[in-house]
Structure 1
Amino acid sequence: MTSQEQAGTSVTTSRRSKITPEREREFYDAVLDQLRENGYEALTMEGVAAQACCSKSTLYRQWKAKPQLVAAALRAGRCVKFATVDTGTFAGDLRSAARAAAQQAGRDTQLVQALGHAVLSDEELQGALREALVEPELAALGEMIDRAVARGEIAADHPAIEFLAAQLLGVQRIRPVLEGRYADADYLTRFVDAVVLPALGLSEAT
């Protein structure tokens, strides 16, 4: 093969490997749908290719293997539920955050459950899950706390602050285990009023 032919082949391969953002989103949606429905172990590149109407080679060429594809899909599905919450009071922010969390509680919990042991054994998946579902909410909660401290509603060194994220995020994950139901808005707002606010020294009327 001449150098000109090799160059032509390289250009063709490069063009073939390009995927539009819209098409990439379809691949990621297929991955997340199958994760929630079947779990990580049952998810296959073949299944994703079938749902996304593409060839397996397309997926392998872009993401090499299942863990990389799943990690990319998780990061692309990143959704910051608490980012726009700002009611003017800490109690109001926490209630609004609870309602926002309820909108995605089922889907988020399904993802966590679907990844199961795979997250514990694969650092890339673990990092992607934290980046998609945990770190954005921790950052948003941190901003709520900073505003509350600035308003004088709570002391910066209040001991309950350390456990706030574990309370709000943990209760979403555990309710399906304990009661077989996802944490809806009513459940989470009642949890905030009965557990979170008293722990912070705030009242329901705040």
Structure 2
Amino acid sequence: MAPRKEQQIFQATLELLAAKGYQGLTVEGVAERSGVNKTTIYRWWPSKAALLAAALVESDLLATDPPDTGSLRGDLEALVRGIAALLTRPPASDVAVAALGAAVHHAELAETARTFFADRFAREEIVFERARGRGELSAAADPVLIMDLLAGAVWLRAVFRGLPLDDGFAACAVSAVLDGAADQPERAAGMRSRTG
């Protein structure tokens, strides 16, 4: 399938997911919105779960490139800002929240969620490889845990608590993960005052 046509299908899939939720997402609806025959869509993706999995991983709407600021701290701050943008700016935020809700309530999407996050980490892994090469990260450090802590902080604050992510959030979150919180009372106090 031509890449442009594929992106039209993915765009339509994610728009319908955001507008109608997983229950309202249908291959027929995607076909109508994208202008592609539904038999063509079924030829490439046998179910709406398979179509959604492909759209989440391959859509230009959710695409990210790993940052290269020259330092692990700078790269992680850029990644946190990217995750924050994804979760706070429509239409990507609507898609991300709808996809999470669908994965929680529909067992067939559990693998879709795993695939999405595995793909994200595969793209981010270069950040940690470069950091090890520069001597900024020990061999014992767990990059997946680092990203879980940082991304989890963004998800919890932006989606579940509904709190704003101010300009200093990325730096504070990265500092807490890389440096710890016990020896940074001023920074911790600043975060508390911003969260109210």
TM over 0.5: yes
Distance in 2, Cα, partners of 1:161 & 1:59: 37
**What is the distance in 1 between the residues matched to 2:144 and 2:9?**
38
Q: Alpha carbon RMSD of aligned pairs, Å?
A: 3.3
| Counterpart amino acid of residue 148 in structure 1 | A
Q: Does the aligned pair in 2 maintain the 1:29–1:73 contact within 8 Å?
A: yes
Q: Answer yes or no: is the 8 Å Cα contact 1:99–1:189 preserved in 2.
A: no
Q: Does structure 1 residue 117 correspond to structure 2 residue 120? A: no
Q: Which stretch shifts more, 141-150 or 24-33?
A: 141-150
**Cross-structure match for 1:32:** 14
State the TM-score, normalizing by the size of structure 1: 0.67
Q: What are the equivalent positions in structure 2 for 1:57-136 lying under 5 Å apart? A: 57-77=39-59, 81-83=64-66, 85-106=67-88, 107=92, 109-117=96-104, 121-122=107-108, 125-132=109-116, 134-136=117-119
Instruction: Show CA shifts across 1:81-135 (max 9, x none).
Output: 352x22222212211222232332342632532423355x22xx44444333x22
2:145 is aligned to 163
| Max Rg structure | 1
CA displacement at 1:163 relative to structure 2: 2.3
Query: Structure 2: any 5+ residue segments left out of the alignment?
Result: 188-196
Higher relative contact order (CA 8 A, sep 6+): 1
- Residues 32, 183 of structure 1: CA spacing in aligned structure 2 closer, same or farther, 3 A cutoff? farther
Q: Output one character per residue of 1:9-31: Cα deviation in whole Å (capped at 9) or x when no partner.
A: xxxxxxxxxx5332222111100
Structure 1 CA distance for aligned equivalents of residues 126 and 68 of structure 2: 9
**Stretches of structure 1 lacking an aligned partner (at least 5 in a row):** 1-18
| CA distance, structure 1, for counterparts of residue 34 and residue 78 of structure 2 | 36
Looking at structure 1, the residues matched to 126 and 5 of structure 2 have their Cα atoms a distance apart, in angstroms, of 35
Tell me which moved more, 173-182 or 41-50.
173-182
Query: Of the candidates 142, 167, 177, which is equivalent to residue 125 of structure 2?
Result: 142
- SS in structure 1 of the partner of residue 140 of structure 2: coil
